[in-house]
Amino acid sequence: MSRIKTDICVIGGGSGGLSVAAGAVQMGARVVLIEGHKMGGDCLNYGCVPSKALLSQAKAVKARGDTPRAEDFRAAMAHVKSTIATIEPHDSVERFEGLGVQVIQGFARFTGPDTVTVGDVTISARRFVVATGSRAFIPPIKGLEDVPYMTNETLFTQADCPGHLLVIGAGPIGLEMAQAHKRLGARVTVIEGAAALGRDDPEAAAVVLEHLRSEGIEIVEQAQVEQVSGRAGAIEVQVKGGTIFVGTHLLVAVGRAPNVEKLDLDKAGIRHTRAGITVDARLRSTNRRVHAIGDVAGQGQFTHLAGYHAGVVIRSVVLGLPAKARHDHIPHVTFTDPELAHIGLSEADARKRYGGALSVHKVGYDQIDRAQAEGQTTGFIKLMAVRGRPVGVTIVGAQAGEVIAPYALAMANSLKLGAIAGTVLPYPTLAEIGKRAAGAYFSPKLFDSINVKRFVGMVQRWLP
């Protein structure tokens, strides 16, 4: 058995792990990167990249305005593969070896507090970063193991459009893929045991759900799945109460589970739960030599969060700085049409925390000239503010994931709303809705204040 000694050993070649490896090696650290499956991880191969590529093609078919054709689905899947292939070199073994990273392909297992093995290789390191990500959670539904079903890991291998796609789970993944498949020609039924988009602002979620239903997607809420049966092309999903939904294909999209099983974490003294590896504010596990980032750290399941975690860990394990992670400024987006974006506290949570100190300001897309010009007037921004600072923002509407960017900047850097209200934006753009919301915070103080009006009256009398 061969042995390798290194400064930093990164386990997992997804977005977070690759960011740590690239940053650390370019700063002069010796780095070993271990990946047991595909470089680029879930995001590149099964998640963000293929799903957004599929959504883009589905949107183009929708815009065409006629009936989807069989070749549309095949062309969309070809675009998915092409997109992945274009990005792959950036995440490849060759690129990282070129940077100076020693890449080992295989599954790592801890054998002690400062060692892991991969096949017949033992790696000892001063610090480890676990970035193994997550996978689709498969619920314990009776009969599920006996029928063919898809997850995000197999969804993009389809050759032909499903006749009738059944989706279990009405979260972001389930609804994004429901809309994409509907626009590409499938009949779609989404089955949700609780409320669809239940973690989002109910008012904003309702806008998305109304639009999806208007496109012909059947969304059934408060329908707990009890049993699945059938065969390829004829799958039955039975919910509590006895209702049975019949379709040709089944997609399971009920959440994610952290990838920890193969790591033998106990041998390294690393505590973990169903949510993932237990970490402190510095993203250190209960073994202080080992950090965890991204999905496996149990702090959220977003590629951009993993990238942020990578930056925190680089400052800590490479530069020796006392860096800590915060999560109040991490945005998330559901990329349906219309999009739903959020950052910070929801309205309900903000009211609980701040009570009467909170003010809520809502501006509709229909008040924005660019939205009117493009016929994209559905949706709104909702700003939660306390003492001149944003504490939460929800946007539902066209390009919400882009429009929320100024508030992500503001909340990451503790900027006041005056910074947004005072920004000059190009006209006409959808981004004006964010500035309009900030202006709504100041308007009552300026235009409804008796003191301001008295002061202005005095100034006008004094001016020559």
Max Cα distance, the chain (Å): 91
Residue ranges for the known binding site for NAD(+) are 169-176, 192, 255
d(CA 374, CA 372): 5
Nearest 5°: phi and psi at 337? -120, 105
Question: 451: pLDDT confidence band, cut at 50, 70 and 90?
Answer: confident
Residue 85 confidence (pLDDT) above 90: yes
- Region 326-341: mean pLDDT is 97
Amino acid at 170: A
Task: Determine the 3-state secondary structure of 303 from DSSP.
Answer: helix
Residue ranges of the annotated binding site for FAD are 52, 132-134, 295
* Predicted local distance difference test score (pLDDT) of residue 1: 75
Where residue 449 falls among pLDDT bands split at 50, 70, 90?
low
Q: Exposure of 158 by Cβ count < 10 A (0-12 exposed, 13-18 middle, 19+ buried)?
A: middle
Question: What CATH number should be reported for the domain holding residue 279?
Answer: 3.50.50.60
Query: Residues 271-310: pLDDT tens digits?
Result: 999 999 999 999 999 999 999 999 999 999 999 999 999 9
- Number of domains forming the structure of the chain: 3
For position 6, what pLDDT does the model report?
A: 98
Instruction: Report how far apart, in Å, the C-alpha atoms of 286 and of each of 40, 270, 282 are.
Output: 27, 5, 11
pLDDT(447) > 80: no
Model pLDDT for residues 377-388, shown as the tens digit of each residue: 999 999 999 999
Read off the pLDDT band of 445 (50, 70, 90): low
Looking at the structure, do residues 8 and 100 belong to the same domain, yes or no?
yes
Mean pLDDT value across residues 209-228: 98
Instruction: Classify residue 207: in a domain, yes or no.
Output: yes
Can you tell me the distance from the alpha carbon of 147 to that of 157, in angstroms, rounded to the nearest whole number?
A: 17
Residues 294, 362, single domain; the answer is no
For 15-29, what is the mean pLDDT? 97
Q: Is the pLDDT of residue 180 over 70?
A: yes
In the 8-state DSSP scheme, what is residue 426?
P
79 within a domain of the structure (yes/no): no
Residue 444, pLDDT score:
74
Domain boundary pick from 213, 239, 254 = 254
> In this predicted model, what pLDDT tens digit does every residue of 350-402 receive, in sequence order?
999 999 999 999 999 999 999 999 999 999 999 999 999 999 999 999 999 99
Residue 446 has pLDDT above 70, yes or no: no
Give residues with Cβ within 8 angstroms of 46, minimum separation 6. 152, 153, 155, 156
* Mean pLDDT, range 229-242, rounded to an integer: 97
Q: Mean pLDDT throughout 343-356?
A: 97
**Both 17 and 100 in a single domain?**
yes
Q: What is the mean pLDDT of residues 3-15?
A: 97
The pLDDT assigned to 460 comes to 78
Q: What CA dihedral angle connects 126, 284, 293 and 91, to 10 degrees?
A: -10
Q: Are strands 249-252 and 164-168 parallel, antiparallel or unpaired?
A: parallel
Is 7 found in the same domain as 127? yes
Contact 129, 283 (CB under 8 A): no
Q: Of 271, 286, 318, at which residue does a domain stop?
A: 318
* Whether residue 171 is found in the same domain as residue 288: no
Q: Considering the chain, what is the average pLDDT of its residues?
A: 96
Short-list 43, 31, 137, CA closest to 84: 43
**12 and 125 co-located in one domain:** yes
Q: What pLDDT is attached to residue 416? A: 97
233 part of a folded domain? yes
pLDDT digit string, tens, across residues 23-45: 999 999 999 999 999 999 999 99
Which amino acid, one-letter code, is at 407?
Y
Does 124 share its domain with 210?
no
Q: Mark whether 228 and 244 lie in a shared domain.
A: yes
Domain CATH number, residue 344: 3.30.390.30
What pLDDT is attached to residue 99? 98
Q: Is residue 294 located within the same domain as residue 274?
A: yes
Confidence band of 454 (pLDDT split at 50, 70, 90): confident
Please check whether residue 80 lies inside any domain of the structure: no
Residues 232 and 283 grouped into a single domain: no
Average pLDDT over residues 136-143: 97
Based on the fold, state whether residues 426 and 353 are members of the same structural domain. yes
Q: pLDDT (tens digit, 9 = 90+) per residue, 262-271? A: 999 999 999 9
Domain end call among 237, 254, 271: 254
Report the alpha-carbon distance of residue 173 to residue 196 in Å, rounded: 11
**Is residue 51 included in any domain, yes or no?**
no
- Report which of 271, 445, 410 is spatially closest to residue 329, judged by C-alpha positions: 410
What range does the domain containing 305 cover? 2-39+92-134+257-318
Q: Is residue 289 part of a domain?
A: yes
pLDDT of amino acid 452: 65
Q: Annotated binding residues, as ranges?
A: 52, 132-134, 169-176, 192, 255, 295
In a domain, 460, yes or no: no
Residues 199 and 232 in one domain: yes
Nearest to 401 by CA among 346, 333, 337, 343: 333
| 95: nearest Cα among 157, 44, 53 | 44
